[in-house]
A and B are shown apart, each in its own frame.
Chain A
């Protein structure tokens, strides 16, 4: 199998605080992990691509200082939303490529629902 977990599944935080979301590949090593954001009734928008041991590549319009990504190992990537505001409320989903296997296939985590009050 190829299982990806995310923690927490839901989080509510106050405006101005920071929130960390973890993405783990449980039974495989991930060469690359991706972070997406999805607003209600909208499609997934890629925020950034992270490779283990290197800096993340952010998509145009995504503030790297606001959305901090750390990919410390082949099984863990974290996304920290700094100084969160209500407009950051969204569904955040990570995915991972297997280190071995088809490079085109991504395995998605269950998502994290962030609500900023």
Chain B
């Protein structure tokens, strides 16, 4: 069974700090990796995606992928209270189903 694991948190960081969110996955055939942000009562919104090993930066967000370790992370620099949300890691499974497998999410709180 393909699994995506995240620490559920809650993770609290002070405003301006770096928030680090981690995710591991079990399917070595996974091809692409996504981070979604979900505010309470809302649907997920895509923050970043990464396909290749290494780092990918977009503004205050950096995604890191290590396929050998089956590990993907999201760093949020200069965290703001508006970043407080649940962050979902999602992995695109191999095969023709085009399915995303989601982790359980990490709840992040940025303290003013």
Contact = CB atoms under 8 A, between A and B. Distances in A.
Nearest to B101: A46
A99 to B, nearest CB: 12
A26 interface: no
Interface residues of B, number: 23
Nearest to B89: A43
B100 to A, nearest CB: 6
Interface in B46-69: 46, 49, 51
A110 B34 CA distance: 18
Nearest to B105: A43
A32 B98 contact: yes
B110 interface: no
A49 interface: yes
A44 B102 contact: yes
Contacts of A57: 97
